[in-house]
Amino acid sequence: MAVPAVNITIEQKADFTSTFTITNGDGTVYNLSNASAIAKMKKHPSAGIAYTFTTTVTSSTGEIALSMADTVTANIPAGRYYYDILVTSAGGEKTRVIEGMALVSAGIS
């Protein structure tokens, strides 16, 4: 499965949520039954500091929701980051299902 690149924007000091529908190459819903997901964001792939998203998996619709509370986004310096979503199947197989750039925009208020 080719990993789709999806860019996102996160506003500092604001709640962030984004939902992704994961599909197979033929357009069918990706099997997320009994799967878990983790998503992290880093300045560059080998950076020591990572910001972790809260993930919610809805297996029946093939959806993975990412979120961060305003208290988390307030502490992320503005700039460009890399992020990805890694799914672990019920059998333990790990698959990267989404990757991309995250732009953290500076907050004023």
Spans of all domains in the chain: 8-105
According to the 3-state scheme, what is the secondary structure of the chain? CCCCECCEEEECCCCEEEEEECECCCCCECCCCCCEEEEEEECCCCCCCEEECEEEEECCCCEEEEEECHHHHCCCCCEEEEEEEEEECCCCCEEEEEEEEEEEECCCC
Displacement of CA 5 from its chain's centroid (Å) = 11
- Residue 14 pairs in a beta bridge with none
With 80 as the cut, is the pLDDT of residue 41 above it?
yes
Mean local confidence (pLDDT), 21-25: 91
pLDDT at 1: 58
Residue 107: which pLDDT band, with cuts at 50, 70 and 90?
Answer: confident
Look at the domain 8-105 and name its fold.
Immunoglobulin-like (2.60.40)
**Distant-in-sequence, close-in-space partners of 59: CB < 8 Å, separation ≥ 6:** 31, 32, 33, 34, 35
Predicted local distance difference test score (pLDDT) of residue 108: 81
* pLDDT tens string 73-105: 999 999 999 999 999 999 999 999 999 999 999
Percent with pLDDT over 70 in the chain: 99
Residue 64 in contact with residue 87, Cβ under 8 Å? yes
Q: To the nearest whole number, what is the mean pLDDT of the chain? A: 94
Q: pTM here?
A: 0.92
